[in-house]
Amino acid sequence: MKKIIIAAMALFVIAGCNTSKEQKWDTTVVPAVNGLQIPAGFENWAVIAVSHRIDRSSVRAILGNDIAVEAARSGNTNPYPDGAIIAKVAWEAKEDEAWPDAIVPGKFLIAEFMYKDSKKFAANGTGWGWARWIGPERKPYGENKEFEQECIDCHSPVEEKDWVFTYGAPFK
Ligand code: HEC
C-alpha cells in the first residue's frame, strides 16, 4: 500500500512539473523594495527584440516569458495579457575583439522587469509592476517604493501602447 502511495505521489510531482507554467522566483536574489522578485530562469526566455542606446553606450535584449512572447509575436499587446513579464537586460556596448565594427555585449549592467497584472498593479495606474536589479551582484534598485514613479514617468510617451516601447522584432 505504502509503495502505491509513493508511486502515485511521484507521478503527481512529475505531472505537476510538466504541466505547471506557473512563474517561479529566484529567492537567492534580494527582492525589490516593492516586494517584487526576480523571475527564476529569465536568462532562458525568448527574445522579443533588441535595442542599442547610443547615448548610454549599451546594448539590450528585450526578453519575455511565454505569455509575453506569445503576445508580442501575435500583436496581442494592447493591453498585454495578465501574467506577461517583459525583461530588459543591458550590457556595456563594446567593439568585438576580432571585428571592431561589430558592437557586442560587454559587462553586464542591469536586468529590469515589467510584470503585468491588471488587478494587482491597478493602483499605480499602469497595471504593471516595475523592478530593476543592478550589476552582477543583482542589487535591487531604489531606496523606497517611489522608484516606480521614475519608471512610469519615463515610459509615459508610450502610455497608449500599454506603457511598452518595444514591439516584437520581425523574424522574416
Ligand atoms: C530614462 C527613461 C527610462 C526610465 C527611467 C526607465 N525606462 Fe524602461 N525603457 C525606456 C526605453 C526608451 C525603453 C525602450 C528600449 C530600450 O531602451 O532599450 C525601455 C524599455 C523597458 C523595458 C522593455 C519593455 C519596453 O517598454 O520596451 C522594460 C521591462 C523596462 N524598460 C523596465 C523599466 C523599469 C522597471 C524601470 C524603472 C526601474 C524603467 N524601465 C525606467 C526608458 C526608460
Residue whose Cα lies nearest atom 36 of ligand 1: it is 151
Pocket test for ligand 1, best of 48, 88, 153 (most atoms within 8 A of CB): 88
> For residues 130 and 118, is the Cβ–Cβ distance under 8 A?
no
171 C-alpha vs ligand 1 centroid, how far in Å? 23
Q: What is the pLDDT of residues 25-53, one digit of tens each?
A: 999 999 999 999 999 999 999 999 999 99
What's the CA gap between 53 and 101, in Å, rounded? 16
Residue 7 pLDDT grade (very low, low, confident, very high; cuts 50, 70, 90): low
Atom of ligand 1 nearest to the CA of 60: 18
- The predicted structure's pLDDT at residue 21: 72
What's the CA gap between 165 and 50, in Å, rounded? 11
First-residue to last-residue Cα distance in the chain: 57
Q: Is the pLDDT of residue 169 over 60?
A: yes
Q: What is the mean pLDDT of residues 67-85?
A: 97
What's the chain's average pLDDT? 92
- What Rg do the C-alpha atoms of the chain give, in angstroms? 19
Q: What is the pLDDT of residues 81-133, one digit of tens each?
A: 999 999 999 999 999 999 999 999 999 999 999 999 999 999 999 999 999 99
Atom of ligand 1 nearest to the CA of 51: 18
Q: What is the mean pLDDT of residues 53-67?
A: 96
Q: Is the pLDDT of residue 18 over 90?
A: no
Q: Is the pLDDT of residue 4 over 70?
A: no
Q: Is the CB of 62 under 6 A from ligand 1?
A: yes
- The predicted structure's pLDDT at residue 9: 55
Exposed, middle or buried by CB within 10 Å (0-12, 13-18, 19+), for 82? Answer: middle
Residue whose Cα lies nearest atom 20 of ligand 1: it is 165
Q: Is the CB of 113 under 6 A from ligand 1?
A: yes
